[in-house]
Structure 1
């Protein structure tokens, strides 16, 4: 990277370090299998208005990335190819909108890229709006921090803002050992809910350490046979596997709340819930720097933690996608993009 031509700097760039014209990125030229991902030299993005330019140290990999690469997810919104995927990142501010900006050049930050409106985080540099960033938790490495934003913001949105987790509430969380799931379990328990989780048996002890009161091994037990009258179901599976969504309606109390997270996982959930006399909503993550700052304080105080299952180099993004698509990862998968 040091041998690439540098952009000329001016007094108004507010940059911490010289910025090259081009960068390495993991891109797709069209949707397809994991082999569609490949490394390409692309132009470094230029921030506008309230956007910051960040040098990416690590990038998180999420199921929405794999769905988009495969042709579903957000693929219809990709305006042009080659396209750089990715939302999560942790890195260092290179350029801020103005001199007195609170996230000045040199500040370590984590947050979400505005993909697909802009290039994603599978790259050496990314632009992101100020409102989508917060200072990186000091107790976390960049690799750990990159696993937080999308998953933890989603968990906060469904557990805290939508389900309003509170003392005595009975909550069932499906796929509790995944990226969103392991944050959802911790946040629900932190706010006092009694948490029941479905997961593989190998993750039971770990999930209890995170705060789950009960763990149901989905391979050996039908959850509807042992759970009833819960207040909220957080469904991170839907009807893509074993009719988990439909079965979840059976275990809710009258008037209970069903929250569906995965995109396209059960198109008919709203009608089915209404017919059963239940409330239901889907959820889409909302970038929020203030919530990221709150999550950062919880992480630094060890009230919650992030678990990184595996780390791949940027050039191995295809292998990272394969790992996520296997459905057997615990916590988060992360790409190491550059040196800390």
Structure 2
């Protein structure tokens, strides 16, 4: 077992090109109830972009190893950590703003947050599903309470979160409407969307209203989605947003349809991973991995997710492979 590990640290807030630096740090040691995991893969999420830009600078002390998704192998257990053994393949969502994030070769975590990795998934696939999967589960199941026969509007169905939300809503028995560019319509209908609307070709609201409205709106894009959702909601409809929106929006129209709003900031949990794993095993859910980059290219992964310069943002998730 090595006594040190390679990490990629966030060394300054701002743009991706100058934000990160690779270095060696001491390998962490698991404490009571913890496991040490050899990270095989992680991924990049919008939360990472916000952290890098400095949106959460009050919670992050530089230099910092950030990142939240993990798929890997248990290599050591701490006192009282009896749920896992060395060699077990696991996946989990690390606590947000933990002392050490997941852009590293090794990671320590409380065993209560860890679940066995679904056998059908590679480490890269599992890492690409952890945070977005838990987010979507909390949004659609725990908050919106989506039921079979309802109609759900997923904004941004070709994205990392949206591609999982389309699948989960379909697996729950809902009729799924999603917004996506025309070039992505075949892709999102292949995931389970019943109707795909080109958001770049005029206003989506009349097109959704022509379908009879929706029971649930999942906002993954921000903008004026909160204020416009009452225009497409059925009575007692629900809106769930996972986007930080600093500007206030006029929600007066929400009273007219008795709307309920939920705001989700993801929280880890083994039970959510177990539920997602069962859907994976049943063939009802699969991660969508658009690009895989090595740990050394974290800055490029951030730039790809932002779609800066001439970079075209890929469908689905950007995963990070952590080589031995």
With normalisation by structure 1, the TM-score equals 0.88
Counterparts of 2:43 and 2:119 in 1: how far apart (Å)?
A: 18
> Is the 8 Å Cα contact of residues 32 and 81 (structure 2) preserved in structure 1?
no
Q: In the superposition, relative to structure 1, how do residues 104 and 98 fare at CA in structure 2: closer, same or farther (>3 Å)?
A: farther
Quick check: 1:238 aligned with 2:219?
no
1:310 aligns to 2:295 (yes or no)? no
The answer (yes or no) to whether the contact 1:53–1:128 under 8 Å persists in 2 is yes
Distance in 1 between the 2:277 and 2:177 partners?
A: 25
1:245: how far off?
A: 3.0
Matched residue of 1:227: which SS?
helix
> Equivalent residue for 1:202?
183
| CA contact 2:226–2:251 (8 Å) conserved in 1 | no
Q: Structure 1, residues 62-91: CA drift from partner, whole Å, max 9, x if none?
A: 01001110111x33201x321001000111
Match of 1:41 among 11, 14, 24: 24
CA apart distance, 1:255: 2.5
Which residue is 2:66 aligned to?
85
Q: Which runs of 5+ in 1 are unaligned?
A: 1-17
Q: Are the counterparts in 2 of residues 237 and 265 from structure 1 also a CA contact under 8 Å?
A: no
Q: CA deviation at 1:30?
A: 2.1
Counterpart of 1:268 in structure 2 is: 248
Residues 130-145 of structure 1: matches in 2 within 5 Å?
A: 130-145=111-126
Q: Quick check: 2:35–2:81 contact (8 Å CA) kept in 1?
A: no
Say whether 1:58 aligns with 2:38.
Answer: no
How many residues of Structure 1 are paired with residues of Structure 2 in the alignment? 315
CA distance in 2, matches of 1:269, 1:182: 27
1:107 aligns with 2:107: no
Counterparts of 1:266 and 1:183 in 2: how far apart (Å)? Answer: 26
Q: Which moved more, 1:172-181 or 1:324-333?
A: 324-333
| 1:255 match | 236
1:334 alignment partner in structure 2: 319
User: What's the Cα RMSD here?
Assistant: 1.8
Q: CA deviation at 1:154?
A: 0.5
For 1:75 and 1:166, the matched residues in 2 are separated by: 39
Matched, 1:27 2:12: no
Note the residue ranges of structure 2 that are not aligned, 5 or more in a row.
none
Counterpart-to-counterpart distance in 2, 1:335 and 1:290: 25
**Match 1:288 to one of 254, 266, 269:** 269
CA distance in structure 2 between the partners assigned to 1:182 and 1:138 by the alignment: 21
Q: Distance in 1 between matches of 2:127 and 2:208?
A: 35
Pick aligned residue for 1:97 from 78, 81, 86: 78
Answer yes or no: is the 8 Å Cα contact 2:179–2:197 preserved in 1.
yes
2:103 maps to 1:122:
yes
Residues in 2 aligned to 1:256 and 1:297: alpha-carbon distance in whole angstroms: 28
Alpha-carbon offset, residue 272 of structure 1? 4.7
Q: Report the Cα distance in structure 2 between the residues aligned to 1:130 and 1:42, rounded to whole angstroms.
A: 23
Note the C-alpha offset of 1:231: 1.0
Cα distance 1:280–1:118, how it changes in 2: closer, same or farther (>3 A)?
same
**Secondary structure of the residue that 2:103 maps to in structure 1?**
coil
In the TM superposition, what whole-angstrom CA distance separates every residue of 1:94-142 from its partner, at most 9, and x where no partner exists?
1123477121111010112224222100000111121221111111111
Normalising by structure 2, what TM-score?
Answer: 0.92
8 Å CA contact retained: 2:166, 2:176: yes
Per-residue deviation, 1:297: 2.3
